[in-house]
Amino acid sequence: MKKHILVATDGSETAGKAIDLAAELAAKFDVPLTIGHILHFGRPPEELAHMARVEHLVESVREKSGADFPNVPGNIMKLFDDSRPGDNAVRIITLIGDEILKRGADRAKELGVDQVSTRSGQGDTADTILDMAEDVGADMIVVGHRGLGRVRRMVMGSVAQKVVQQAECTVISVR
Ligand SMILES: Nc1ncnc2c1ncn2[C@@H]1O[C@H](COP(=O)(O)OP(=O)(O)OP(=O)(O)O)[C@@H](O)[C@H]1O
Ligand SMILES: [Mg+2]
């Protein structure tokens, strides 16, 4: 019997599958579900551009924030090209994170989970996911096998690998 499930999402399609499975399990076990996202500070701008194409996420954030960056994803690349993100980049990364979490929570509720909460964090992605799991008392972590990285390969993504290797609880990696 599980007590609390944490699912980690970077907004990718595979992470969406992880949310679906985690939500189905949480609904079945009738346990709380936490959806966690580590903000994309310092990540390659290509990842955000990829996300924009996958889900039109950036477009909807643009509408909400009133931020002026037409021609997504071309401009989002420029926005994040600096080694130190400016105020606008920080604001947009934060808004994207909020939107990813909101969509995950909506989906989990749709799948019948009663207790859904969200958390965002900053820092090394895998370490922060592991800390979150401990914080919320999760005894299961669900991640996607792949994420927003563009490299086509058979091996598991680096975040998923580290979480699987270092977690103290059960980890499910969804394909
Ligand atoms: N920023 C993040 N916040 C929350 N969860 C994440 C984040 N990044 C990755 N994950 C989790 O890890 C899973 C696998 O993503 P991962 O980053 O390991 O693969 P990748 O992006 O394909 O490869 P890499 O990042 O090594 O280039 C995602 O589906 C998601 O569940
Ligand atoms: Mg990744």
Domain residue spans in the chain? 5-174
The more confident residue out of 148 and 162 is 162
Each residue of 134-144: pLDDT tens digit? 999 999 999 99
pLDDT band of 33, cuts 50, 70, 90: very high
Angle, CA 70 vertex, CA 84 and CA 77 arms, to 5°: 35
Ligand nearest to the Cα of 10, by number = 1
- Indicate if ligand 1 lies below 6 Å from the C-beta of 148: yes
Give the residue from 165, 147, 167, 171 showing the smallest Cα distance to 157: 147
Q: Whose CA is nearest to atom 7 of ligand 1?
A: 10
Q: Ligand 1: distance of its center to the CA of 22 in Å?
A: 16
- pLDDT value for 41: 85
Residue 156 has phi, psi (to 5 degrees) of -65, 150
Ligand nearest to the Cα of 158, by number = 1
pLDDT exceeds cutoff 60 at 71: no
- pLDDT value for 51: 74
In the sheet where 5-8 sits, what is the strand order? 116-121, 33-38, 5-8, 140-144, 170-174
pLDDT exceeds cutoff 80 at 80: no
Q: Could you tell me which CATH class the domain 5-174 is placed in?
A: alpha beta
Percentage of the chain lying above the pLDDT 90 cut: 62
Q: How many angstroms separate the CA atoms of 133 and 48, rounded? A: 25
- Indicate if ligand 1 lies below 6 Å from the C-beta of 125: yes
Q: Ligand 2: distance of its center to the CA of 24 in Å?
A: 24
| Beta bridge pairs of residue 174 | 144
Point out the ligand 1 atom lying closest to the alpha carbon of residue 160.
Answer: 18
Long-range contacts of 135-138 (CB under 8 A, 24+ apart): 136/4, 136/6, 136/32, 136/34, 137/3, 137/4, 138/3, 138/4, 138/5, 138/6, 138/34, 138/169
- Among 3-17, 24-38, 46-60, 137-151, whose mean pLDDT is lowest? 46-60
Ligand nearest to the Cα of 155, by number = 1
pLDDT exceeds cutoff 80 at 122: yes
| Eight-state DSSP code of residue 69 | -
- pLDDT value for 50: 75
